[in-house]
Amino acid sequence: MDDLLPQRFPLQITGWPVELMAYAYLAVSPPNMSQHFEEMAAAASNKNTGKKRIKFPELEERALQFILDSCESSISKYNKFLEIIRRRLRDMRTGGLRALSLFDGVKKLFN
């Protein structure tokens, strides 16, 4: 009966977290916005208890592009890691790594 229950995960994101957007604003903001750095840093570090959403329309496009680029970069790294694991698992299943482990065993005899 438990198999019919939907999976539940401890974290569900239903929108942009305030901290993520604040960090992106901080990362892409030009030096002439230094008067807002403290406000952005507080929001990015979750120190503002009121969860006040900060908004800088002139930076929004660049901030969203920063988030997109960061996510795509992370996904790319994970995909490469998954490819390596899949290849290694496939090699283990087909015996491709057996020859390498035998070679390592022989090499240890001479060391």
2 is a domain residue = no
Record the pTM: 0.53
Domains in the chain, number: 1
Under 8 Å between Cβ of 45 and 75? no
The pLDDT-based confidence of 6 (bands split at 50, 70, 90) is low
3 is a domain residue = no
69 is a domain residue = yes
Written as six digits, the tokens of 60 are 């929004």
91 is a domain residue = yes
Strand blocks (E) in 1-111: none
Average pLDDT (12-24) is 71
52 is a domain residue = yes
Domain hosting residue 71, numbered range: 10-109
Q: What is the pLDDT of residues 31-81, one digit of tens each?
A: 888 888 887 777 777 665 555 667 778 888 998 899 899 888 888 888 888
- For the chain, the average pLDDT equals 75
pLDDT above 50 for 1:
no
